[in-house]
Structure 1
């Protein structure tokens, strides 16, 4: 089937303007780009009635994420049933197994593609979920993925998880990285202008980490590393953008280490300021210690013209190695992070320049590039037919 003919039903998690998260941003960006690749979009997410208003009815919210889980699952199933009653899609595209699961009977007989953006059960366990909850999530994921004719992963690393942990046949798995609207992050601003706009100091080396404040993100290691970096660069300033339940604990670590003048927790940064923040930094850092499928923030930073150092976890190396293997740290942990930052800020670690960063992001991860690749996988799934 030509991609010009594909009608898709996109099952998401939340609507990004209402609730920010990496998965939600990728869903929002992709569904906006797919029509340009010949894929018509209808979709359902946990969200308000405003979602349908904002999208001309293409995407509908089946209720707020704050509702109880049973209510959300019932609402998701009802929304899927109602959508299919009006128009039968050629392919069901699942971005979040939880809201796909209750409609598996409703969507039976339609080819399905799952966008695997991480092992939900394992992520929950790392962040403190109980073992019963983890087993339930794993069962639910397994059912959804087993139904899929094709599964899209963000990296080879996550493809390995699907085949080894979920027993998905390798021939069903396709690697397509996440997408970014490069124009949104490619601001015509110098670093000086960006710092002036955000009222940041002009005369200090600035390191940026955009992360949820949860365990597996490696922020504890990053704060520890800044103690060593400060010894070489006394005026270093680390900005951590994001929110999460570790905020108070991290602030305590910062104060205890005597880093109140060197590390700032910015909290949530609105999308309209994020591109300027990347542009203002000398370098970004992704210190993840576990379960990173791709790291959308790596591409956002590069699209802004700012190089990014990453730990060798999951799909992070795949995201940046094509630009420069020097951007991949040799290990996780505070020492490796400190060595990398000291080298980057001191000039002994060769970093790609602004133009190279932007070009790499545009050529490999821009929305139009990725939408065409996703459309091709949908075409494969339709040709293969549904899994029974």
Structure 2
């Protein structure tokens, strides 16, 4: 920790415990860990009044997450003015363009660090289209991102998106990976104990995938891949955890492929139980087909001691290849995924053991490790402003 403390204002999207998501998990992690790096934090998000108490008085809700858009935008601007009046921050860190845009001009003489968690417009319309709505979102993002003094991205892949899509200068972009609470995921339960507590079979090869049930996650490919794995490993079981609009379609796909005994949809998994699900599995899989800047689920799996197989999409290879290139599939698509899974389960593709997975996650992605890197970028932005 440095001797010189700085004050930061963090503009997020939601509070993680109210609306779980990768961006919100990262936001909460920084709220929790930056103070130990000499960065005082105040924040604001869309959420309930209870956010203030559960965040230890550090984060305020400027409007409800389900409030009308105008109410949320005005709330963001009003709250930012109140925070400025209480104390001018040394640096403003923005995590979500929509809620950062109303604060433009409020902190005119303060350096800004943009945390780019992903292209909001593209993620809102993953199948393309969107027309004027998508164009407006891109314009708003470009406006917010170009106002940044420094920009933090999760991977080289997202650095390219930020530069090529939004015109942000490459020399202002810094790569800081995602982070997880390694101690939280490194549960003391053995694989047998984890399966027992979750009422999972002890005698079957078990695969785990935790994703939002939307098309860009590649879950259709993963289900189809199990039709390749099943003839070679008849007792294999895949558990897909998560909620989303594709739930009914995915269940219908499982039935149509005759995989009811081999693939289950587990629905929402409470955060406190997620480490057990990873620990129970022999292998986790991330089959993403597009727009994956990092994939926190990869690091969660490794922190739990479970190797993770990923498609070569976005920042996924950057997250796991330094540990082992065998964790990266040669291509996307159901055939590559199915062959890769079978090779791991049959011992033809050798992946790191539990101890290697945990050590790698702890050394590179534990929350204090990443918070220290973020703090350095904040101080750099202040010096350069």
Fold shared, TM-score > 0.5 on shorter chain: yes
> 1:224 maps to which residue?
224
> 2:182 maps to which residue?
182
Classify 1:129/1:6 alpha carbon distance in 2 versus 1 (closer, same or farther; 3 Å): farther
> 1:74 maps to which residue?
74
> 1:335 maps to which residue?
335
Specify the SS of the correspondent of 1:17: coil
Structure 1 residue ranges, 4+ long, deviating more than 3 angstroms after superposition: none
- The 5-angstrom pairing of residues 285-364 of structure 1 reads 285-364=285-364
Q: Distance in 1 between matches of 2:376 and 2:232?
A: 50
Q: Distance in 2 between matches of 1:320 and 1:55?
A: 31
- The 5-angstrom pairing of residues 84-233 of structure 1 reads 84-127=84-127, 130-233=130-233
Specify the SS of the correspondent of 2:63: coil
Q: How far apart are residue 261 of structure 1 and its match?
A: 1.0
> 1:375 maps to which residue?
375
Specify the SS of the correspondent of 1:61: strand
Relative to the length of structure 1, the TM-score reads 0.97
Q: Distance in 2 between matches of 1:54 and 1:314?
A: 34
Q: How many matched pairs?
A: 384
> 1:31 maps to which residue?
31
Relative to the length of structure 2, the TM-score reads 0.98
For structure 1, list consecutive stretches of 5 or more residues without a partner in the other structure: none
Q: Distance in 1 between matches of 2:277 and 2:97?
A: 33
Larger mean Cα displacement after TM superposition, 158-167 or 173-182: 158-167
Q: Distance in 2 between matches of 1:100 and 1:3?
A: 30
Q: Distance in 2 between matches of 1:321 and 1:225?
A: 22
Q: Distance in 2 between matches of 1:373 and 1:161?
A: 21
Specify the SS of the correspondent of 1:48: coil
Considering Cα pairs closer than 8 Å and 6+ residues apart, tell me whether 1 or 2 has the greater RCO: 1
Q: Is the 8 A contact 2:117 2:293 kept in 1?
A: yes
Q: How far apart are residue 129 of structure 1 and its match?
A: 6.0
Deviations 1:332-379 (A, max 9, x none): 000110011000111111010000000000000000100000000000
Specify the SS of the correspondent of 2:285: strand
Specify the SS of the correspondent of 1:126: coil
> 2:274 maps to which residue?
274
For structure 2, list consecutive stretches of 5 or more residues without a partner in the other structure: none
Deviations 1:36-69 (A, max 9, x none): 1110000000111101112232100112211111
Q: Is the 8 A contact 1:62 1:79 kept in 2?
A: yes
Specify the SS of the correspondent of 2:12: strand
Q: Distance in 1 between matches of 2:202 and 2:233?
A: 15
Specify the SS of the correspondent of 2:92: strand
> 1:45 maps to which residue?
45
Q: How far apart are residue 128 of structure 1 and its match?
A: 6.2
